[in-house]
Structure 1
Amino acid sequence: MTRNPALYQSIEMRSLKARANPIRPKQTRHNSAMVRDCVFAAVVGVTIGSGLLVWRNWEAVKPVLHSSGATVIDGDTIEVAGERIRISNIDTPEISSPNCPAEQVKGFAAKRRLAEIARGYPIDIDREGKDRFGRTLARVRIAGNDVGLQLIQEGHALPWAPGAAAKQSRIRAWCGS
């Protein structure tokens, strides 16, 4: 059997051409689809992470019911006989949608302190109107003490003032920036 040198030369040339000019693999996904998938994965990750944070802190987030009939919702909101009452003269750090982690920590502390103050004492409510969320705005007194003033004096709340500038000032006080 004789070898055909032309055949071997042809195979060798094809091999060299393939090495010199490799065929690029066909791109199967467009960049926009990859970006979309990355954004989706990030959103899912943040959502799951937020859910785990709330689940882990459920004891601090859930409303606290007291023998006085008041349920403490957060540092400046209670519920009495199904009526949500926002303490009118104060603002406390946010728990559910904080602007920084420090604000949430301070919000939990304000909620705990309000729960301690409300524990087992009769509550006097001086209603003043409604807020934009439909909650009753009121001055709240427990055992004769103005709760808002007490929370301000203890550093758990700041005096409430209207306007975006006042709100930003309170956020800076809680977040330190």
Structure 2
Amino acid sequence: MLDYSLMVIFFVLVALLVAKLSQPKAPTQLLAGKAYVIDGDTLSISGNHIRLEGIDAPELNQNCGANACGQVSRQTLIRLIQGRPVRCEGNGHDKYSRSLAICFVGETNLNRAMVEAGQAIAYGDYRDVELQARRDKKGLWSGVFETPQDWRREHEQVPEAPQTQPQSNRAADLIDQFVGWIIGLVGGLW
């Protein structure tokens, strides 16, 4: 009876593992069309707010010394787009429910172009491009400035929007926990 029980448990575990591994990945969201530029790292296409992934631009009302760098950053993004259609490949959402995306005008990567112009700092991506903009003293790097993140921390008086948690799938959560337990157990045997 013990052998039979262990065999059933083994096959159930294998079935759960196969089910977990065969779950499709979330599709990349494609947003395209005429874009309205909100600030140096945020667009709106057909009412969808899109945050340019991997960069951080000055806030719209941020000043860098005598320079209205937030406005300059926004104007740079407007000039890069020049009224042409924008195509964005979404990769999830940020805490404000904006789509995180890499956006293009033709073949031009807007995220990268903003960092190249010195109008945004690299935030996870585009470090090589930022280093070149720093060496060339482009945009923000031509003087002293406060990083957008630090500026927000000091100047924002509006509390952040509450993060909404996605509806959880209890069965999927249980399977995830169980698979994690099995992997830990099997990993301990090797």
When Rg is computed on C-alpha atoms for both structures, the one with the higher figure is 1
Higher helix content, 1 or 2 = 1
